[in-house]
Amino acid sequence: MSIQYLEKERVFCLNTPGSTYLMGIAAQEGFLGHLYYGTKLEDITGAVELFRTQESPYVPEKNERDRGSFMDKFPFEYSSHGVGDFRESSIRVRTMGGQTGTSLTYVKHEIYGGKRKLEGLPATFGQEDEVTTLVITCRDEATGLEVELSYSVFEKLDVITRSARIINGGLETLMLEKAMSGCLDMDGGEFDVLTLHGSWARERHMERKPLGHGEFAVSTLRGESSHQEHPFLGLLSKGADQVQGEVYGFHFVYSGNFVAKAQMSQFGQIRVVMGINPEDFCWKLEPGESFQTPEMVMVYSAEGIGKMSRTLHDLYRGHLIRSPWLHKKRPILINNWEATYFNFDADKIVSIAEESAKLGIEMLVLDDGWFGNRFDDNRALGDWWVNEDKIKGGMGELVAKVNALGMKFGLWFEPEMISPESELYVKHPDWALQIPGRKPCRCRNQYVLDITRREVRDAILEQVFQILHSANIEYVKWDMNRPLTDIGSAALPADRQGEVYHRYVLGMYEMQERLLQEFPNLLLENCSGGGGRFDPGMLYYSPQIWCSDDTDAIERLVIQEGTSLLYPLCCMGAHVSVCPNHTVGRSTPFATRGMTALTGTFGYELDVTKLSEEDKAAVPKQVRAYHACNDLIREGNYYRIASFWENRLYDCYQVVDDKKEKALVFFTQVLGEPAMHSRRLKLQGLKENAKYKLSLIDLEGEELLKDTGRVLGGSVLMHAGLQVERPWGDFQGRLFFLEEV
Ligand code: GLA
């Protein structure tokens, strides 16, 4: 049983295969307090002492005098606000009297097999034999506010997910100004924080620094999870690396404004909170109404960062991504964006498709520019009808021509946006988010649609559905190319304007849900100016997300390392494009670009009709490698061997199958070094006593596998290392294949 309640001690014990999470109800006051989270405890006798409630100056049953000092150090499971705990609060409600005090005590709990859905929100899921859920109800006596704290414990993974449902159980209206999804009070210790930061074309770069007194936070107010900061926070014990050390990972299943904070108190205790960013958030709760927070994922690893990554990969593959495409090889696609930008017509697209089909590419994706009056990015968002000047004969004819070549067809949309220069805006200027009396801020010359409104969502989806029903369109790229500003909805009253950011995210989730209900087999890829909305929330809807508009093979090593810190390789959109690269101007070998893209969903982002004969000849070889390797890449276990982000010279990662019989080793020498002998790469995840045959996957030659004639023991490979010759030159990739003999 993964969740137990010990009646006598009033302690809840949550166990995963390798971790224990303990909390208890403090004597008398009834506060729900945190006791322990870490390596699995086989016996928890005496754990209740961990509360320190018997330490002076305040002992609950003995005096009232120094209650303040108790409040300010008690490890709260969901921290209170304004009544003595000066650390970060988890919840803040404003009463009609204008006050904000909140303090929660235990009322009751329930344990059940499985996991209920979170209304309107993406969340992890699992069957009764895969996950057990504990719901603890707490109450604030003064306001009648109730909070249901939910903990779902996964049987096979070191994961506990949390969320809170906040119910107005009182008689007057409450304004919910802050509602974290979870709070974790740890006793202390020396930790580094690990986060992901970035920008457009530079998403999810890792950053690690020591956590000190005060607070450290990552957050966004852009209305999307953002390029800039990621809804993730890791706490690493000092010296933790890929293979050893304690790691706590906190990841947020949400695609809008978030905050993740780690705070070190005067006593060295560490509090972590994660939730919707309270800035510009205020939700009106009438008596009897409730608010559901998004889900927060907690992972524990006693075996370093690598184990945390693999746990999250398994969680997302097994319990978050719902798409029927999850375990399938995705069609190798070619996207015309970097090939043509807005400068194309149907003939051009067909010519790209014809050439692509000959090379083994399986799907043509028509990107931005096919609709309305969209001859550049200054107009037409919202006018989702086919531009027949460009697409002569209409979408049906174009798709039929592409299908006749044996290829699938996919299409780009940006459904959440409206151009000031569009037919839609002329008809419905109030459909753009805006603040009365202010000119809304343009980004890429576009406004954001007020999709908090049902009629707006309906009108856009109606257009999208009409296009998708008009032809055999099997893939959609759902883009979102600007952050939210001018937060105001013409449809909401003054006291609900603080709900717009969150209602926007709920509206977007609802639109994607309806799209998938209408087209259950659709392959959906999310995108946001590259990877600006790459988060677990979006994975609930689409099995893959475009990683970045930066397709340079070397930049991608870092972006994809940061992405794979949390996400399985099967969801990383990765394509080969031309050189000099459009974002950095770097030239890298075609084979290295192919190898980097093979790590993700794989495809091309170039004009294949203009490729050199040499590169064109290499495409079918990359296609062949994709078909040979994708099952392993998609379903395998990921190990990080060396990081270019850290060493600035070379990069190496490995994917191993469950049985440890097969492995791929991706090695890239970014910079050549003179006068050095071969390099040793200490592999991971193999069998100590097995022997492996080493081959090279040839991305250019006639045969897929080049036998190296080398057979190596698993323990040699893992402890002494795979000896790899240094290639001649910069940006050189080598893809090795190991198979047990
Ligand atoms: C974003 C996407 C690109 C492309 C363009 C089209 O930047 O990330 O891949 O679709 O929009 O405008």
Q: What is the pLDDT of residue 676?
A: 87
The percent of residues in the chain predicted with pLDDT above 70, rounded, is 100
Q: Calculate how far, in angstroms, residue 111's C-alpha sits from the geometric centre of ligand 1.
A: 46
Label the pairing between strands 603-605 and 576-577.
Answer: parallel
Candidate list 450, 479, 615, 651, residue with the active-site label: 479
Which atom of ligand 1 approaches the CA of 546 most closely?
Answer: 8
Which atom of ligand 1 has the smallest separation from the CA of 367? 10
Q: Tell me phi and psi for residue 305, to 5 degrees.
A: -70, -40
Q: Are 95 and 71 in contact (CB under 8 A)?
A: no
Distance 50 CA to ligand 1 centre (A): 53
Q: What is the pLDDT of residue 351?
A: 98
Residue nearest to atom 12 of ligand 1 (CA): 368
Question: Is residue 57 over pLDDT 80?
Answer: no
pLDDT one-digit tens code per residue, 256-298: 999 999 999 999 999 999 999 999 999 999 999 999 999 999 9
Give, using CA atoms, the residue closest to atom 2 of ligand 1: 529
Q: Which amino acid is at 536?
A: P
Residue type, 694: L
- pLDDT of 59 > 90? The answer is no
User: Structure tokens of 484?
Assistant: 């939210």
Q: What is the pLDDT of residue 354?
A: 98
347 assigned to active site: no
Mean pLDDT of 292-317: 98
Q: Please state, in angstroms and rounded to a whole number, the distance separating the CA atoms of residues 439 and 243.
A: 53
Choose the residue to mutate in 203, 479, 550, 559 for probing ligand 1, maximizing ligand atoms within 8 Å of C-beta.
479
Q: Is the bond into 57 cis (omega within 30 degrees of 0)?
A: yes
Query: Is the alpha carbon torsion for 92, 95, 97, 101 positive or negative?
Result: negative
Structure tokens at 453: 């409104």
- Closest C-alpha among 22, 38, 87 to residue 270: 87
Distances in whole angstroms, Cα of residue 246 to Cα of each of 66, 162, 316, 422: 36, 21, 21, 54
The residues facing 25 across adjacent strands are 32
pTM for this one? Answer: 0.98
DSSP 519: S
Band (50; pLDDT cuts 50, 70, 90): confident
* Residue whose CA is at the smallest distance from ligand 1 atom 1: 529
Tens digit of pLDDT for each residue in 683-731?
Answer: 999 999 999 999 999 999 999 999 999 999 999 999 999 999 999 999 9
pLDDT for residue 48 is more than 90: no
| pLDDT value at residue 66 | 86
CA of 480 to the centre of ligand 1 (A): 8
For residue 324, report the distance from its CA to the centre of ligand 1, in Å: 25
Distance between CA 620 and CA 357 in Å, rounded? 10
246: Cβ contacts below 8 Å, ≥ 6 apart: 38, 39, 236, 237, 240, 300, 301, 302
pLDDT score for 55: 80
Mean pLDDT of the chain: 97
The predicted pLDDT at position 696 comes to 97
Q: What is the pLDDT of residue 551?
A: 97
How confident is the model at residue 58, as a pLDDT?
A: 77
Take residue 347 and report the two structure tokens written for it.
């003939």
Q: Write down the catalytic residue from 85, 140, 368, 549.
A: 549
Contact 588, 697 (CB under 8 A): no
Pocket probe mutation, ligand 1, options 341, 527, 548, max atoms within 8 Å of Cβ: 527
Residue closest to 212 by CA, chosen among 190, 195, 231:
190
| Ligand 1 first shell, C-beta below 6 A | 337, 367-368, 377, 412, 479, 481, 527, 529-530, 546, 549
pLDDT band at 592 (very low <50, low <70, confident <90, very high): very high
Topology alike, domains 3-319 and 333-546 = no
Distance 681 CA to ligand 1 centre (A): 37
CATH topology for 639-740? Immunoglobulin-like (2.60.40)
Residue 336 to residues 197, 339, 546, 585, 723: CA-CA distances in angstroms? 29, 5, 14, 19, 40
Residue ranges per structural domain of the chain: 3-319, 333-546, 639-740
pLDDT in tens, 160-211: 999 999 999 999 999 999 999 999 999 989 999 999 999 999 999 999 999 9
- pLDDT for 473-514, tens place per residue? 999 999 999 999 999 999 999 999 999 999 999 999 999 999
Q: What is the DSSP string of 44-96?
A: -TTGGGGG-TTSSS--TTT-STTHHHHHTTS-BSS--BSSS--S--SEEEE-T
| CA 510 to ligand 1 center in whole angstroms | 23
Q: In the CATH hierarchy, which fold is given to the domain comprising 333-546?
A: TIM Barrel (3.20.20)
SS3 312: helix
Structure tokens at 88: 């970060």
Q: Which residues 6+ apart lie within 8 Å of 417 measured at CB?
A: 381, 382, 446, 447, 448, 449, 480, 481, 482
DSSP one-letter string for 469-528: HHTT--EEEE---S---S---TTS-GGGGGGHHHHHHHHHHHHHHHHHHHSTT-EEEE-B
Distance 337 CA to ligand 1 centre (A): 7
Output the pLDDT for position 150: 98
User: Is the pLDDT at 54 greater than 80, yes or no?
Assistant: no
DSSP string, 669-713: ESS--TT---EEE---SS-TT-EEEEEEE-SSSSSSEEEEEEEEE
Q: Cα separation of 541 and 415, whole Å?
A: 15
Is the alpha carbon torsion for 735, 736, 737, 738 positive or negative? negative
The pLDDT score that the predictor gives to residue 507 is: 98
User: How large is the average pLDDT for residues 20-48?
Assistant: 92
Q: Which atom of ligand 1 is closest in space to residue 527's alpha carbon?
A: 8
Is residue 151 within 8 Å of 34, Cβ to Cβ?
A: no
**What amino acid is encoded at 105 in this protein?**
T
Q: What local confidence, expressed as pLDDT, does residue 56 receive?
A: 77
Q: What is the mean pLDDT of the segment spanning 299-314? A: 98
Angle (CA) 635 641 642, round 5°? 130
- To test the pocket of ligand 1, the residue of 481, 542, 582 to mutate (highest count of ligand atoms within 8 Å of its CB) is 481
**Can you tell me which residue has the tokens 């390789």?**
569
pLDDT at residue 29 in the model: 85
556 CA from centroid of ligand 1 (Å)? 17
What number is the average pLDDT over the span 34-55? 89
Domain 3-319 = CATH 3.20.20.70: no
Cβ-Cβ contacts under 8 Å for 15 (sequence gap 6 or more): 2, 3, 4, 21, 40, 153
549 is known as an active-site residue: yes
Choosing from 200, 337, 340, 606 the residue with most ligand 1 atoms within 8 A of its CB, the one to mutate for a pocket test is: 337
Of all protein residues, whose CA lies closest to atom 6 belonging to ligand 1?
A: 368
Angle between helix axes 454-470 and 500-518 (nearest 10 degrees) is 30
Banded pLDDT at 52 (limits 50, 70, 90)? confident
**What's the Rg (C-alpha) of the chain?**
27
